[in-house]
Amino acid sequence: MDNKTIDNKKDWSKEIIDFYNCEEYQKLNEYYNRSTIFEVLGIQRNETRHSKFLKWLLDPTSNHQLGDVPLRKFLRLLSTGIKDEELKTKFLSNKYTISDCIIGTEWNLNQQKDKIGRVDLYISFKIGNNDNDSEVAIVIENKINANEETIPVSKINDEDAKKYFDKIKNETGKIGQTEFYQYCIEKNGEKNNNIFVYLTPDGRDCKSKDYIKITYQNIVDDVIDPILLMNLATETRFFIKEYLRTLSILAANDEENNSEKKTLKTIIATSKSETECLEKLGKDRKELIKEAFKNRDNDDAEGWKEKCLKDFWDRNKTLLASILKVTDNKKYLTITKERCQNQIIIYYNGNKMESYNEFPLKVIEDYVKNEKITDIEALRDKFGTRKKGNTVQMFATEGQFREFQKEKTKNYWSKDYAITLDGGEKIYVTKVWKNIDNTKDEPNHNLRRFIGILEKDSDYIVGGNDNLITITTKKKITE
């Protein structure tokens, strides 16, 4: 064929042909295009079913014929976050015995009649190494698409618990699930033998600071992948591989009635061999994948090139989304095709922002904390608020804030939007991120411009589309 027949830069046809013909695509396409048992049953992102699988895997008495090997690998993973040095050493050394192991899902911690006191996964056992056995209890709160729920203190039956939480509840009279579960366990047991785990796809925060945050990718890397290297029973290997493929296939939240949450599609984790293929494919076909991602929601495409790229994305959605997750370091890739006319949904580091005003404030607070910012000018430079000849008023000093209270723009500022810089100076962030003169809760140009600034900033990974935005910080947020 004459090379001039096809203009690669114009329509991407040759790149698409090469993509379909490469060895990595052949392997991954077969892997992704087979339905899993979880998919057939419609439970790919059902938290309860994931908890039940983990119970089966970690329980030494399960029929997988692996004994306590999976549990030991899991304990070694947890050792990275355990503060108790003696317990940490035991888990790392693997020189200990496990006895009287009990594992349960939806475990009731405090005999509440409703679900308030039910933890997703509970593990208890005796651990020993030629000394006296000691009791260990592990509480695992498992969240996939949902954030941590809050519990009204008024609904807690235990009077002692009510008195305790009355002192720390927020202004709405609520506490976090993790705080409540921790109280229930520590009330009845030895503090240093209790381990609290918050399991999510992206390592997001929870209310209690004493929980060890782990991801499904951690479990794949440190528990599931190593187990698959062992000599396994045929049924055990099949079941574990099915589960592993379920984690890596792009899927919606199948247990939500809320239409918005149902359209959130996620990739939770990928295996080592799968990741290696994805990385090579992503590196070799980077520009094609980038162009396809840009056109994924282009339903009104008119040109042949745009239609071709959109069709390429639609036909290979799971594979391309997995490549982006691995190569762009996106811990939690969210994709939706649902459109709303003006509103946008924002997820920041895996947490849904409850209001447009909350989002910029949270981003700026994290940046100040991480970089130890001492000067308001550094914020103005970072977040692109400078114009020729003047400064857009995104930030205000204490003095400027007082002056603004005398002007017509006083409603644009609030004491609730104050941030303390590393040097102790207090500054204020504007609270105008939505259309004030509109009865609907819609973002204004300030918010869209702010998101555009983050998109160009190498410290942030911005994904999603015009109506659903995901922002992830590349650096770990300082507590």
Residues contacting residue 32 through CB under 8 Å, at least 6 positions apart: 245, 248, 249, 318, 319, 322
Region 160-172: mean pLDDT is: 73
In the listed set 221, 247, 271, which residue is the last one of a domain according to the structure? 221
Region 366-375: mean pLDDT is: 88
Whether 325 and 361 map to the same domain: the answer is: no
Whether 269 and 415 map to the same domain: the answer is: no
- Most confident option among 247-251, 309-313, 406-410, 452-456: 309-313
The parent domain of residue 304 ranges over 11-36+255-335
**Separation of alpha carbons 182 and 211, rounded Å:** 9
Domain-located, residue 237:
no
Whether 69 and 214 map to the same domain: the answer is: yes
Output the pLDDT for position 386.
44
> Does the structure show a pLDDT above 60 at 340?
no
Please give the residue that has the higher pLDDT: either 59 or 11: 59
Domain-located, residue 75:
yes
Output the pLDDT for position 351.
77
Domain-located, residue 122:
yes
Percent of the chain whose pLDDT exceeds 70? 80
Whether 315 and 461 map to the same domain: the answer is: no
3-state secondary structure the chain: CCHHHCCHHHHCHHHHHHHHHCHHHHHHHHHHCCCCHHHHCCCCCCHHHHHHHHHHHHCCCCCCCCCCHHHHHHHHHHCCCCCCHHHHHHHHHCCCEEEEEEEEEEEECCCCCCCCCEEEEEEEEEEECCCCCEEEEEEEEECCCCCCCEEEHHHCCCHHHHHHHHCCCCCCCEEEHHHHHHHHHHHHCCHHHEEEEEEECCCCCCCCCCCEEEEHHHHHHHHHHHHHCCCCCHHHHHHHHHHHHHHHCCEECCCCCCHHHHCCEEECCCCHHHHHHHHHHHHHCHHHHHHHHHCCCCCCCCCHHHHHHHHHHHHCHHHHHHHHHHHCCCCCEEECCCCCCCCCEEEECCEECCCCCHHHHHHHHHHHHHHCCCCHHHHHHHCCCEECCEECCCEEEHHHHHHHCCCHHHHHCCHHHEEECCCCCEEEECCCCECCCCCCCCECHHHHHHHHHHHHCCCEEEEECCCEEEEEECCCCCC
Phi-psi region of 42 (alpha: psi -120 to 50; beta: other; left: phi over 0): left
Output the pLDDT for position 263.
43
Q: Picking from 74-83, 101-110, 136-145, 430-439, which range would have the lowest pLDDT averaged per residue? A: 430-439
Whether 352 and 468 map to the same domain: the answer is: yes
Output the pLDDT for position 189.
61
Q: Give the predicted TM-score (pTM) of the model.
A: 0.66
> Does the structure show a pLDDT above 90 at 290?
no
> Does the structure show a pLDDT above 50 at 201?
yes
In the listed set 335, 364, 392, which residue is the last one of a domain according to the structure? 335
Give 466's pLDDT tier (boundaries 50, 70, 90): low
Q: Picking from 351-355, 386-390, 397-401, 426-430, which range would have the lowest pLDDT averaged per residue? A: 386-390
Q: Pick from 199, 352, 203, 320: which is nearest to 250 by CA?
A: 320
Please give the residue that has the higher pLDDT: either 189 or 333: 189
- Most confident option among 6-20, 237-251, 347-361, 461-475: 237-251
Domain-located, residue 420:
yes
Please give the residue that has the higher pLDDT: either 434 or 164: 164
Q: Picking from 124-128, 312-316, 381-385, 451-455, which range would have the lowest pLDDT averaged per residue? A: 381-385
Whether 331 and 441 map to the same domain: the answer is: no
Region 125-151: mean pLDDT is: 83
> Does the structure show a pLDDT above 80 at 368?
yes
Output the pLDDT for position 158.
75
> Does the structure show a pLDDT above 80 at 147?
no
Domain-located, residue 479:
no
Output the pLDDT for position 101.
93
Whether 31 and 53 map to the same domain: the answer is: no
Output the pLDDT for position 19.
92
Whether 103 and 162 map to the same domain: the answer is: yes
Whether 57 and 172 map to the same domain: the answer is: yes
pLDDT, one tens digit per residue, over 261-279 is 444 567 788 888 888 888 8
pLDDT, one tens digit per residue, over 48-88 is 889 999 999 999 999 999 999 999 999 999 998 888 888 88
Domain-located, residue 6:
no
Q: Considering its fold, how many domains does the chain have in total?
A: 3
In the listed set 198, 221, 244, which residue is the last one of a domain according to the structure? 221
> Does the structure show a pLDDT above 60 at 259?
no
Whether 59 and 192 map to the same domain: the answer is: yes
**How confident is the prediction for the chain on average, in pLDDT?**
79
> Does the structure show a pLDDT above 80 at 299?
no
Domain-located, residue 340:
no
Give 139's pLDDT tier (boundaries 50, 70, 90): very high
Domain-located, residue 245:
no
> Does the structure show a pLDDT above 80 at 424?
yes
- Most confident option among 54-63, 274-283, 297-306, 314-323: 54-63
Whether 262 and 380 map to the same domain: the answer is: no
Whether 290 and 161 map to the same domain: the answer is: no
> Does the structure show a pLDDT above 50 at 438?
no
Q: Picking from 58-67, 98-107, 390-399, which range would have the lowest pLDDT averaged per residue? A: 390-399
